[in-house]
Amino acid sequence: MKAPAVHISQLSFGYPGNDNYTFNNLALTIGAGDRFGLFGPNGAGKTTLMSVMTGLLKPKSGKIELFGQPLVNSCEIKKLFGLVPQDFSFYHELTPIENLEFFGAWAGLGKAEIRSRSTELLEVLGLADVRCKQVKLFSGGMKRRVNLAIGVIHQPKILFLDEPTVGVDVQTRNAIIEYLLQLNNQGTTLVYTSHQLNEAQELCNNLAMIDGGAIIANGTMDELLAKHQQTDLENLFLHLTGHHYRD
């Protein structure tokens, strides 16, 4: 049987100095090839869970596997996944090419591969003309595309995306979503979170709704909409998490 892209069991995590657990005995499975959305109100635990799933935060207890391999600090597991964090994770003083050279080498790619991947990515993401300009001079939308290019330079099997389109215009958003769909068509599993629920509904086929660190709904988009008699993801979100401020 094919191993799921992500398998989490009995996960407990709390921030240092905080007596309360963010997650207590959480379980989640994400299928290989899924376009998986993790949704929930501000402070629900989405970024924390992404950080735990990518080894940036260490759980108190529990098991996390990516494609059947335990999440440990090894080169093999790091090559399996890419992360596109909410905060820009590149060097602003460097150009896109220099950033991709740095992060490509960090991911273990050779010079020739970095060169060909960089050329391809900058072309696909509309950055070829600004390849030699410092990233600090870019618009927000261009910076988002650099952030994405860095996350996929090593062609990961699973890509974690934390609000990859926040603050971009419609053109850039459409281009990013189209690119993510292409990646998924080629076999990349997507794990995505966003508050842009129209976009999310277009992108995701499976989802989990998280609230207060607990998964309150999990299934395919169609199943959950039908089960809760909702017409779209935004209404499903409000139905499951309520209308009041949550943080």
Ligand X SMILES: Nc1ncnc2c1ncn2[C@@H]1O[C@H](COP(=O)(O)OP(=O)(O)OP(=O)(O)O)[C@@H](O)[C@H]1O
Q: How far is the CB of 150 from ligand X (least distance, A)?
A: 20
**H-run or E-run covering 15:** none
CA distance 155 to 152: 5
Chain residues 43-102 in contact with ligand X, contact rule CB under 6 A: 43-48
The C-alpha R_g of the chain, in whole angstroms, comes to 18
Kindly state the number of chain residues that form the binding site for ligand X, as judged by CB under 6 A: 11
Q: How far is the CB of 22 from ligand X (least distance, A)?
A: 5
Q: How far is the CB of 36 from ligand X (least distance, A)?
A: 15
Which of 4, 40, 96, 151: binder of ligand X (CB under 6 A)?
Answer: 40
188 part of the interface to ligand X, by CB under 6 A: no
Stretch that binds ligand X, among 39-47, 60-68, 105-113, 229-237 (CB under 6 A): 39-47
3-state secondary structure 120-179: HHHHHCCCHHHCCCCHHHCCHHHHHHHHHHHHHCCCCCEEEEECCCCCCCHHHHHHHHHH
Stretch that binds ligand X, among 37-45, 95-103, 131-139, 229-237 (CB under 6 A): 37-45
List, in sequence order, every residue forming a beta bridge with 9; answer none if it has no partner: 63
42 part of the interface to ligand X, by CB under 6 A: yes
**H-run or E-run covering 40:** none
Residues that bind ligand X (CB under 6 A): 15, 18, 22, 40, 42-48
